[in-house]
Structures are given as C-alpha cells and as structure tokens.
Amino acid sequence: MDRSQKEEMVAQLKQVFQDSALIVVTHYTGLTVAEMTELRGKMREAGATYKVTKNRLSRLALDDMEFKDLGELFVGPIGLAYSTDPVAAAKVAVEFAKGNEKLVILGGVFNGQILDIQAVDTLAKLPSLDELRGRIVGMIQTPATRIAGILQAPAGQVARVIGAYGDKEEAA
C-alpha cells in the first residue's frame, strides 16, 4: 500500500467514524474465509458492515475524534462492525460471537461514547429501529381495531334482539 492509498484509507475510516451511530471493535483471530464471509453476509442483512482495518491507519483516523481513546483497543487483528442503526452491528456481532469463539468483542463507540464489552452486549439485546417501528405501528393499530369492534357490537346486538323477537313471534 503506497502513501496515497493509505491517505485514502484514513479518510474512509474517518468518514466511517463520523457517519456511524455504532462501531464495534472485534478480534477475528482464526476466522476462516468462509466464516468471515458468513459474518459479512449477516452484517449486510442487518444493515451493518464489517471491515478489517490496519491498526495504525485506524488510530490516525481517530486523531481528531472525541473518542480517540478507542485506539487503545486496536491491538492485534482488528475488525470493525459499524452501522447507522444504533443496535444492528452489536446484535450481529454478539450473536456471531456466541456461536464462534474466534470472534472476540473488545468494545465500541455509540454516538461518541466509548463502550465496554458489557455495554455492547446490552445494546445487542435492545430491539432494532425496524422492530421498534413495527411495535409502534402495532400499538397504533390496536386501538383502531378495538374501536371498530366496539362500533360493530351494538349493531350486532340490535340484529340479534330483532331476530329473537322474530323467532318469538313465529313460535307464538
């Protein structure tokens, strides 16, 4: 990698650090190509990205950031999982790490605040933005369904009463 390529990589990483709501730092020692491909595929499905980075270049990209202390985690083979969704990258990374001991979560950054391993795990347990949107739509629709049921009930009751009177008249 020549100097211009390194400068371009630092600029890309800086952009990732600025644009991402969540960045999860991982060690990936021992992951096979197939496992890495599976991890990247799961990240893409969730709307996140997984990227292997050079530690020195990543630290250079962090120089101007308020969370430049994150650079202390950049030791050994480092991969970054990042997303604009506040929980997507954490969900996939934690889930994958549970099934594969070779992926180790070291920490992360959420909206400028450095997270430890427990905080990343806690974020992974939260519902994603899409799940929250679905819950809100469900909560909004539920009262409407109940109102429709209540409005239909009196009409049904009136019909049953009239039907009962009709049956009573026929029997008499």
Average pLDDT over residues 71-86: 88
pLDDT-derived band at 105, boundaries 50, 70, 90: very high
The pLDDT tens digits for 106-129 are 999 988 888 888 988 888 888 777
Task: Show the tokens assigned to 126.
Answer: 């939260």
Architecture of domain 3-126: 2-Layer Sandwich (3.30)
* Distance separating alpha carbons of residues 21 and 23, to the nearest angstrom: 7
The pLDDT assigned to 126 comes to 82
Domain range list for the chain = 3-126, 127-172
Amino acid at 153: A
Cβ(42)–Cβ(96) under 8 Å? yes
Q: Can you give the pTM of this predicted structure?
A: 0.72
Does position 39 have pLDDT exceeding 90, yes or no? Answer: yes
Instruction: Calculate the dihedral angle through the C-alpha atoms of 115, 121, 125, 130, rounding to the nearest 10 degrees.
Output: 50
Write phi, then psi, for 103 (nearest 5 degrees).
Answer: -95, 120
Q: Is 119 exposed, middle or buried (0-12, 13-18, 19+ CB in 10 A)?
A: middle
Q: Which residues contact 18 (CB under 8 A, 6 or more apart)?
A: 65
Q: Which residue carries 């120089």 as its tokens?
A: 63
The pLDDT tens digits for 42-56 are 999 988 999 999 988
The pLDDT tens digits for 5-37 are 888 888 898 888 888 888 999 999 888 999 999
Q: Which residue carries 């539920």 as its tokens?
A: 142
Give the DSSP H/E element, type plus range, for residue 78: strand 78-83
Cβ(9)–Cβ(78) under 8 Å? no
Average pLDDT over residues 133-146: 73
Does position 89 have pLDDT exceeding 80, yes or no? Answer: yes
Distance of CA 45 to the CA centre of its chain: 10
